Amino acid sequence: MTETLQVSLWRGGRDGRYVGYEVPMRANQTVLDVVTWVQRHLDPTLAYRFACRVGMCGSCAMTVNGRPRWTCRTHVSKVAAKGRITIGPLQNLPVIKDLATDMQPFFEKWQAAKGAFAPSRTRNDEVAHIKPGDAARKTADAGIECINCAVCYAACDTVRWNADYLGPAALNRAWTLVNDERDAGNAARLAAVAANGGCHACHSHQSCQEHCPVALNPTASIAGLKRRTLQAYLKGEIKP
Amino acid sequence: MNVRLYVWQRTTAAIMAPLVLVHLAVIFYAMRKGLAAADILARTRGSVAWAAFYGLFVAAVSIHAPIGLRTIMTEWTPLRVRYCDIVAVAFGLLLFGLGLRAVAAVVLP
C-alpha cells in the first residue's frame, strides 16, 4: 500500500481557507511535485506558479509549514511533519488565487529603489574592464545571484509592518548597483534608498538572510547602504 | 525612518552611552556612600558641570526617544505618518520640559 501525505492547500483569495488533500508519497518528492500532483489528479482549478523547476527562475515560492520556501528545491522529506504538510501563498503580498500571489508591489519596489542598471557608456564606447578581484566588484558579486523569488520579502517583519518599506530584495539589488562602477545612477539611487521606507527602516532582524534560498545576505547589503547613504548625507550629496 | 532621523538617533545614542555609564556610577556611589538627599543637593546646587551633564542628557533623550516612538507608531498602529510625527514631536517636547524641570530642581541654588 502506498504511503500518503496529508496536504493542506490554501484555496481562494484573501478570504480563502485551507483544504485537505491526500497525495501519494514518492521518493525525492518536492513540495512543487505535491502541488502539481493535486492539480493534475484532484483539482485542475488549483492556481499556482512555477517555471524552471530547478531553482533558477524564482517563480514557485510559497509558504510551507509557516516558512517561505522555494518549493521546487524543497524536499517533502525535509519539511513534512508526521506525514502532514501545509502550503499557502507567500505572505506580505496580495493573494490572486490559491497559491499565486500578485508580485506587482514587490517589483514596483525594485523600481522605486532604482534597481535598474543606469549605463554610463553607450554601445559605441569600449567595454568597461572590471577586475573580478576589485573590492567593489566582490561586494557586488556577493549579492548578485538574487533570483527575485520574494522569499525574503515574505519573511521580513518590517515589510509586514511598514507598507512603504522597499524590502530586502530591492535594497540588495540597489547595493549591487551602488558597487557597480559601470553604473551612473547612484545619486538618484542613494536618495531613493535613504528616504522614508528605505534602508534605514530595516531593523536588522535578519529573516531575509535566514530564509534566502540562495544563501544571500540582504541584511549585510542593507547595512552597506546605511553606511554609504550616511556618508552621502553628511557630505550634502543627498537630501531626504 | 530616513537618513536624517537615522543620523539624529544614532548621534544621540552615541552621546547617551557614556552619560548613562556616568549616571549609573553616580547612583552606585551615592548608594554605597549612603548619601541623603541633602548631601546630593549640596553637591549639585550651583554646579555648572552637573547642569551641563544632565542638560545634555535631557536634550539627547528628548531627540532619541521620540524618533523610536515614531517608528513604533508608524509600524504598529494604524495612525498616519503625519499624526505619528505630531505625537512624536509632542512627546519630545514633554520629555524636554520634564527633564529640564528635574535638572533645574537639583542644580539651581
| Residue B77, min C-alpha distance to chain A (Å) | 9
Q: Is the pLDDT score of A2 beyond 70?
A: no
What is the structure's pLDDT at A1?
52
Domain of B80 in residue numbering reads as 3-107
B48 at A interface, C-beta within 8 A: no
As a whole number, the mean pLDDT across chain A is 95
Those residues whose C-beta lies under 8 Å from the C-beta of residue A177, and which sit 6 or more positions away, are A114, A115, A117, A118, A140, A183, A185, A186, A189
Q: What is the DSSP letter of A12?
A: S
A170, A112 in Cβ contact below 8 A? Answer: yes
pLDDT tens profile A210-233: 999 999 999 999 999 999 999 999
Sorted by sequence, the CB contacts under 8 Å of residue A136 that are 6+ apart come out as A179, A180, A181
The 10 Å Cβ neighbour count of residue B73 is 20
Cα separation values, A190 from A152, A237, B77, Å: 21, 9, 29
Q: What angle do CA A238, B1, B3 make, to 5 degrees?
A: 25
8 Å CB contact between A8 and A85: yes
Banded model confidence at residue B109, pLDDT cuts 50, 70, 90: confident
Which member of B2, B75, B81 has the closest CB to residue A240?
A: B2
What local confidence, expressed as pLDDT, does residue A108 receive? Answer: 97
**What are the angstrom distances between the C-alpha of B98 and each of A117, A200, B47, B48, B84?**
51, 30, 20, 19, 21
Report yes or no: A108 and A178 within 8 Å, Cβ to Cβ.
Answer: no
Q: What amino acid is encoded at B15 in this protein? A: I
Q: Environment class of residue A117 by beta-carbon count within 10 Å: exposed (0-12), middle (13-18) or buried (19+)?
A: middle
pLDDT band at A101 (very low <50, low <70, confident <90, very high): very high
Among residues B90, B20, B23, B81, the alpha carbon closest in space to that of B62 is found at B90
Question: Using one digit for the tens of pLDDT, what is the confidence trace for B77-92?
Answer: 999 999 999 999 999 9
Count the domains in chain B.
1
Chain B: closest CA distance from residue A79 (Å): 32
Taking the C-alpha atoms of residue A202 and residue A23, their distance in angstroms, rounded to an integer, is: 40
pTM equals: 0.90
H-helix segments, chain A: 31-41, 76-79, 104-112, 135-143, 151-155, 157-161, 168-178, 186-194, 207-211, 218-234
Is the CB of B1 inside 8 Å of chain A's CB atoms? yes
Beta pairing partners, B100 = none
Given CB atoms, is B5 within the 8 Å cutoff of chain A?
yes
Q: Is the pLDDT of residue A239 over 90?
A: no
Q: Dump pLDDT digits (tens) for A177-211.
A: 999 999 999 999 999 999 999 999 999 999 999 99
Q: What percent of chain A has pLDDT over 70?
A: 99
Contacts of A205 (CB under 8 A, 6+ apart): A156, A157, A158
> Which residue in A161, A198, A234 is closest to B2 by CB distance?
A198
DSSP B77-95: S---HHHHHHHHHHHHHHH
Mean pLDDT on A87-113: 97
For residue A238, give how far its alpha carbon lies from the nearest alpha carbon of chain B (Å): 9
Contacts of A198 in chain B (CB under 8 A): 2-3
Could you give all domains of chain A from N- to C-terminal order, each with its CATH number?
4-101 (3.10.20.30), 104-234 (1.10.1060.10)
In angstroms, how far is CA A216 from the centroid of its own chain? 10
- The answer to whether the CB of A87 falls within 8 A of the CB of A62 is yes
